[in-house]
Amino acid sequence: MAPAVYLLYVRAIVLALVAVLAVCVLPMIVLIFVGLIRRFQIARTRHALDRMGFVGNGPFERDRRRLLPLVGAGVVGVVGLIVATLVLPGPLAGRILASTEGSPFSSAPTHTPVVQSGTNSGTHHTGTPSEEPATTHGGGGSPASPASSDAPTAHGGSDAGAPSTVTAQATSATAIQLQWAQVSGATGYHVERSTDTVNWEPVARTSGGQTRYTDAALDSGTTYYYRVAAVVGDDVAHSEMVSATTTVDTPAAPVLISATGSGTSVGLLWSDVEGDAGYRIERSTDETNGWTPIGSTLAGVTSYTDTGLEPATTYYYRVVAVTSDGVSSTPSGALPATTGLGESSSGSSTSVSNAGPALAPTGP
């Protein structure tokens, strides 16, 4: 039987005994007050009889003698209850439970050695626990030694200590989810964040039953460091430091719709991509000897004309979307385009499109 369940049984027994005692004592108290009132009335009546010359025992004298032992028992019960709950050191249930420390109901200690590194799989864990108060923003402190009695001990559900098995996992380009083991007796947890492991800022305070938190509105492609402090009474103990890097928010690749050659120029047309800050146009002569950036456009501009080209030459083109952070998308599919045969054929043009194959002309 767990100590918590055993404590509930002890409390239930104590409350039952108090209830039984109250049932016995309350009637006694009522009888005491009734008896005092009746005695006062009897004393007045007897005094009046004595003045008139009548002598004898007052009424209800026999009942009064029977009442005295019961009143005495009630008074003794009240005094015993007061002594048991107030005078003796500690609550009654706590004393009874403390007397059973050597019984088979007591649980084994759950303290574990100091954990020297974070346990976040897939993320980089660095740093050591800090012994600063939760409201102090400073360094992570010196490395803790397992033999040091001053170092905070990590616990997985123990009576006190720092949260153990803290993990940090990037869930998107702007969010990191934290999770840790619950500490028994903790009334809350403080989550702190840093970008350099030196300056820490509080980002959240959770209740004692909440062991998960998602830090949102972060920058993409950035490494953040975290530590969690458990609040147990007046004690605050920090966990090991863990870290995670948000993913890079890559835009979708544009679709190059057409590449049309005419004279010594090529006109390009592509689809617009949401969230882009502009586009980069790249060109190659054979798709194998590398791509050369030849120009760029602003956001929303989805056409470009490449001029000053050699006549009767085939070129290959592709388009890359770029975000405001300088992150590039995967390139679009490449399209070839052939320039005209020279000045005499400047009016002719060739066009290649991703919209589908062109129909061949029919006729004689």
pLDDT of residue 298: 93
* Selection from 294, 254, 242, 272 nearest residue 115 by Cα: 242
Per DSSP, the residues of 265-326 read EEEEEE---TT-SEEEEEEESSSSS--EEEEEEETT--EEEE-SPPTT-EEEEEEEEE-TTS
* Selection from 106, 35, 94, 86 nearest residue 64 by Cα: 35
Which residues are registered as beta bridge partners of 205?
A: 190
| Domain 154-245 classification at class level | mainly beta
pLDDT of residue 325: 75
237-256: pLDDT as tens digits:
899 999 999 988 778 889 99
List, in order, residues 6 or more apart from 193 with CB less than 8 Å away.
Answer: 200, 201, 203, 215, 224, 225, 226
Spatial distance between the Cα atoms of 120 and 195, rounded to a whole number of angstroms:
17
Contact 249, 220 (CB under 8 A): yes
Q: Indicate the domain borders of the chain.
A: 3-98, 154-245, 256-353
88-103: pLDDT as tens digits:
544 444 444 444 444 4
DSSP state of 86: I
Under DSSP, is residue 36 helix (H, G, I), strand (E, B) or coil? helix
pLDDT of residue 158: 39
Give me the residue label for tokens 């998602």: 214
User: Which CATH fold would you assign to the domain 256-353?
Assistant: Immunoglobulin-like (2.60.40)
The average confidence (pLDDT) of the chain is: 74
Phi, psi at 67, each rounded to 5° = -75, -30
Higher-confidence position of 45 and 306: 306
pLDDT of residue 48: 76
Question: Model pTM?
Answer: 0.39
Say yes or no: do domains 154-245 and 256-353 share a fold.
yes
